[in-house]
Structure 1
Amino acid sequence: MSKRQAASGSTKWWRGAVIYQIYPRSFADSNGDGVGDLNGISAHLDYVASLGVDAVWISPFFKSPMKDFGYDVSDYCAVDPLFGSIEDFDRLLAKAHSLGLKIIIDQVLSHTSDQHAWFKESRQDRTNAKADWYIWADPQADGTPPNNWLSIFGGPSWRWDTRRLQYYMHNFLGSQPDLNFHNPEVQDATLEQIEFWLKRGVDGFRFDACNYHFHDQQLRSNPPATKRDTASVSIENPYGYQAHLYDKTQPENVAFLQRIRKLLDQYGAMSVGEVGDDNSLSIMAEYTNGGDKLNMAYSFNLLTADFSAEHIRSQVSDLEAEIKDGWGCWTTGNHDSIRVVTRWGKDTQHPRFAPMILAMETALRGSSCLYQGEELGLPEAQLTFEQLQDPYGITMWPEFKGRDGCRTPMPWQSGAVNAGFGAHEPWLPVAATHVPLAVDTQESNSESTLNAYRRILHWRKTQPALIEGDIAFFKSAEPVLAFTRSWHGQTIVAVFNLSEQETTFELPVAATELAGHGLAGAELVGKTLKLGAWGGWFGVVV
């Protein structure tokens, strides 16, 4: 056991943990430049701790030209001046730890910025020391790219370079060249930058696009998809037309994840991987079982528009069937997806919707990631084309509007300039629909979504079955999702009405109501559970 594990009191604190994601550009602006920063996060850590979460995941704050807003790293070991300094990060980390919060930082390993020193050297010629650190390929005889691989952000995943007279691969933006992880030197260099942050005391890492590290060295073209992938990408994106057999999720990735795990274990740190793939649940299972790769992983499968009891039940059941001793992580919102109040709730402001979604998500077997602003019930912000910043949305407009609608500034004070985000005009506008939902307005209302979140999350900490327990689903017709969580002789029943229509559910077991969570909209009469709009209920089997 590492010293850090001994200090934390648990080697597996992440199992069943609730992780709060902060998108630093949009959380709080402390210096009035219109962009959120590390000191802005530090100033609001007491608020985050009050929610009852266990850890904070901070999206990238590393040095970057910001073409993809930090997910294009030009120096893995430097804080971008836009966000502050390394000393600011150290203070943030210390304050989080003093509040009992773990800090997880985002690591974007599959690609760098084209402004990274590694790529600047690699592109100079074909014989330099880093010539093979990125994925370079000759054109076909007619000058076209070496195969049919596509970028998620639109167009071919190959860009021509006039220095080397070759194409380089980019799964995302053309300014985000993919590293060549078949080169052991690249793996070693990547592990070194991970260790830099481990030595500073971070508690874990969220690994972005963690199944994109390796590519097929034969550069074989992908075949057409037999089933469109609409979980990882929007239906308007031709990326989903291919079965991605060769441009990602290669078998060599397993050994690399094992190298990462070995390093993290030395420091008592954890890992959660983002898996975007046609077959993401199987990959989540493969990457987390065996105790020697990722601690846990999550997919985009609950980030789609499909909102039904059957969909949620099948996702969890399919993962459970494969995961063995691995561990999943569930999320219904992040910085890449339409906010859940809009995506699933159709912009409802019913007071039970957002708390019910939280209770449902955190009652599933696994850990949970919550995205900033969900605790306020924020809907998706509606932006004009002229207001867009996201290159993904600009490329795919108008049918896909990109990710800016979930990235607008956090509203802190309803009566303050820019809703208290900062003194200067922010990089994205504050949504008018968010101002009435500001933190200060909800703090004083005991029945607000914010306070409902606090009740649920603090209550959940008192229920070991919801953190570690096994899961089993009851048969239920739409729109009811019903299951049990069992642990050390206790079985908790969880039932949720995923609609605004009243409905009933016949409990197949004898159970008494479990109180303290604050959910409303449900009444047990005998074995009949009457569920109002977006109602949720917890009970314990007797």
Structure 2
Amino acid sequence: MNKIEKQPLGPRMTDDPEWWRGAVIYQIYPRSFQDSNGDGIGDLAGIAARLPYISSLGIDAIWISPFFTSPMKDFGYDVADYCDVDPMFGTLGDFDQVIETAHELGLKVMIDLVMSHTSDQHPWFSNSRKSRDEERSNWYVWADPKPDGTPPNNWLSIFGGSAWQWDARREQYYLHNFLTSQPDLNFHEPAVQEALLDVARFWLERGVDGFRLDTINFYTHDAQLRDNPALAPEKRNATIAPSVNPYNHQEHLYSKNRPENLAFLRKLRAVMEPYGAAAVGEVGDAQRGLEIMGQYTAGTDLMQMCYAFEFLCAVQPTATRIAEVLQTVDELAADGWACWAFSNHDVMRHASRWNLSDAAQRVFATLLMCLRGSVCIYQGEELGLPEADVPFSALQDPYGIEFWPEFKGRDGCRTPMVWDQSGENAGFSTSNTPWLPVSKEHLKSSVAAQEDAPDAVLHHYRRAIALRSEHPALAKGKHADIQVNGTVLSFIRTYEDVAIFCAFNLGEEPAEVNQPAGTWRKLSPDQPLGPIAGAEISRLEAWQSCLLIREPQLTKGT
């Protein structure tokens, strides 16, 4: 354990009131991170014990996926009590220990808030479904059937089928954009908004530094319940199961993405502001994600960051595609702030999704740390882990069970973290039956194995993160001069009087570089080199990157 308890690399942004701007955020999926009590499920005490490792990466903040009281039909994204910890993860005291340990290490703590819906076992829903006269009768989205008994409109659930579920108690349908056991809250009811703002206050008082807001664009629905229009086949570009899920056949104008949502986001920002807290919203929309991201992060009274799914795509993004995305963000979100990720708990790990070689993984890691915006990396990404192969008999994800075998679900990216190569469970758990099997393919890429290998992907991530942390131009700067030359993507990041030229060959063959004029100093995630003439960087080898910095003293020739 000594090797992973080293001091973090590079300066931190913890004293910066805008610590979130350009921050590197490490996502923890708590069920699979570290089991401290041998029940086969990761927990909060396990997270606290492993925080020194996260700190050693040079990370600025952690994002912990849901750990609230839940029946776990969607593994915590179905909340039954917003203000308590599910016993499988520990106690509120254990969470306090996570906060204390993280803050001692200079790490911010963000938690995953699921505000669009609850579990059907939440007391709010139990009260709401009793009758139409209960105190919380209007806290969820209820609607009468059409005269023929069918649902009120054509809205579909992401998990398949209608987004409406019949309830015999009220003789009405209720809306569920996800599982039938995840009824949607009614944001047109002021009391619902106030209750959720109180939830945010509860965790802010407990010491959290911010929130990851699940399905942020799903909060408000169309009060008139108008039908969604059909989506043309050529526009069906959803990230998850685009072909097998009929959800992708609609343009979701009315079931989500409503302009009324902005008013609630302003209230939430006002609650967070006195605490110096920040939020990153998940924008789940395949067609309008970047546009909505721009809307939700504009100005100073909405969310600080949002992420869309452009780089969580199924197909490896080319230099041209990445340039298009960056230019679209400049057009649609010039006043906003993106948060970029290549992997998370909802998509196949990008090492497998894009079929990346070791060299390609390193270049994409460097690219991620050079993008304008903040950055999320998903646990195990820094180890270069591929997607695990989980057999149907071990599958847990309801999405995968529903659409198997055309879509195998999300369990392949959720298997336990591999800490060492000893025992059956790679240091994750002493249980004989962890909640998901540990991937045998992952063992050779464990933390312990890579700590002892200077050329491992893990150390490349450390160097790339340190480079971003050391240079405000990469963390907070503007970008300009986005260019594509064949397989080479390049752009310039600037902050005050410092500029950094970033070039990446995202191809299998050497390629020419449109290098900038002047004298620059070379940077890389591996080692800095001395001053060179810009003209000397004329080509990059396959899967190679080059970073050049221009500082005032170089410009003056000193």
For the aligned pair, the TM-score class normalised by the smaller chain equals over 0.9
Other-structure match for 2:545: 536
Other-structure match for 2:376: 369
Other-structure match for 2:449: 441
Q: Secondary structure at the match of 1:540?
A: strand
Query: Are 1:74 and 2:80 counterparts?
Result: yes
Distance across 2 between alignment mates of 1:188 and 1:115: 20
Find the partner of 2:478 among 450, 456, 470. 470
Instruction: Name the amino acid aligned to 2:99.
Output: L
Q: Give the TM-score normalised by structure 1.
A: 0.95
1:181/1:214 contact within 8 Å kept: yes
Percent of aligned pairs with the same amino acid: 51
Deviation track 1:95-147 (CA, whole Å, cap 9, x = no partner) reads 00000000000000000000000001111111111110000111111111111
Distance across 2 between alignment mates of 1:105 and 1:166: 34
Give the drift of 1:416: 2.7
Give the drift of 1:347: 5.0
Shifted more, 81-90 versus 275-284: the winner is: 275-284
How is 1:22-421 mapped onto 2 (pairs within 5 angstroms)?
A: 22-226=28-232, 227-236=234-243, 237-277=245-285, 278-306=287-315, 307-344=317-354, 346=355, 348=357, 350=358, 352-421=359-428
Query: In 2 relative to 1, CA 475–433 (structure 1 residues): closer, same or farther, beyond 3 Å?
Result: same
Deviation track 1:215-274 (CA, whole Å, cap 9, x = no partner) reads 111111000113534244322221111110000011110000000000000221111100
Give the drift of 1:525: 8.7
Distance across 2 between alignment mates of 1:157 and 1:498: 41
Q: Secondary structure at the match of 1:333?
A: coil
Q: Secondary structure at the match of 1:419?
A: coil
Q: Secondary structure at the match of 1:354?
A: helix
Distance across 1 between alignment mates of 2:290 and 2:51: 33
Other-structure match for 2:522: 514
2:323/2:483 contact within 8 Å kept: no
Deviation track 1:381-419 (CA, whole Å, cap 9, x = no partner) reads 112221211000111111111111100000001123311
Shifted more, 147-156 versus 531-540: the winner is: 531-540
Unaligned runs of 5+ in 1: 1-6
Query: In 2 relative to 1, CA 502–192 (structure 1 residues): closer, same or farther, beyond 3 Å?
Result: same
Give the drift of 1:355: 2.3
Distance across 1 between alignment mates of 2:440 and 2:14: 42
Give the drift of 1:433: 1.2
Q: Give the TM-score normalised by structure 2.
A: 0.92
Give the drift of 1:31: 0.5
Instruction: Name the amino acid aligned to 1:205.
Output: F
**Off by >4 Å, runs of 4+ in structure 1:** none
Instruction: Name the amino acid aligned to 2:293.
Output: M
Give the aligned CA root-mean-square deviation in angstroms: 1.7
Kindly tell me the number of residue pairs found equivalent between the two proteins. 531
Distance across 2 between alignment mates of 1:10 and 1:288: 19
Unaligned runs of 5+ in 2: 1-12
Other-structure match for 2:509: 501
Q: Secondary structure at the match of 1:187?
A: helix
1:272/1:294 contact within 8 Å kept: yes
Other-structure match for 1:4: none
Give the drift of 1:470: 1.0
Query: In 2 relative to 1, CA 519–386 (structure 1 residues): closer, same or farther, beyond 3 Å?
Result: farther
Instruction: Name the amino acid aligned to 1:61.
Output: F
Query: In 2 relative to 1, CA 516–357 (structure 1 residues): closer, same or farther, beyond 3 Å?
Result: closer
1:231/1:303 contact within 8 Å kept: no
Distance across 2 between alignment mates of 1:180 and 1:514: 54
Shifted more, 97-106 versus 456-465: the winner is: 456-465
Give the drift of 1:459: 2.1
